[in-house]
């Protein structure tokens, strides 16, 4: 669950104008700063790439400070993306 919340937090911190690879890079930077596993960042980028509604949702979720609350607030699609990218 911690990795799922971390991935959601990392994705939410990204810019809507991120280009291919930048989302994963930002995810890695954020999770490394938190001392967390970064292995799901490329997967998360791939899972939400091209879905402007999902990308926008991750940006909105980034406004929620508490990671557990952020995950709980995520749509089923956002949770599915996070869940698919965890080990």
pLDDT in tens, the chain (87 residues): 555 555 666 665 554 445 557 777 777 776 787 787 889 988 988 888 889 898 888 777 767 667 778 789 999 999 999 889 875
- The pLDDT assigned to 16 comes to 43
What tokens were used for 57? 């949702």
Give the range of the structural domain holding residue 15, as residue numbers without chain letter.
2-84
- 10 Å CB burial of residue 28 (0-12, 13-18, 19+) is middle
Q: What is the chain's Cα-based Rg?
A: 11
**How far is it, in rounded angstroms, from Cα 19 to Cα 29?**
16
Of 33, 46, 36, 45, give the one whose Cα is nearest residue 3: 36
pLDDT of residue 73: 94
Nearest 5°: the CA angle 18, 55, 78 is: 140
Work out how many domains the chain is built from and give that number. 1
């Amino acid at each position: 669950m911690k990795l799922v919340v971390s991935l959601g937090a990392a994705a939410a911190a990204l810019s809507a104008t991120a280009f291919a690879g930048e989302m994963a890079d930002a995810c890695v930077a954020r999770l490394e700063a938190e001392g967390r596993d970064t292995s799901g960042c490329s997967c998360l980028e791939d899972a939400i790439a091209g879905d402007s509604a999902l990308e926008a949702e991750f940006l909105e979720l980034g406004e929620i400070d508490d990671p557990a609350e952020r995950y709980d607030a995520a749509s089923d699609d956002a949770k599915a993306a996070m869940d698919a990218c965890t080990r």
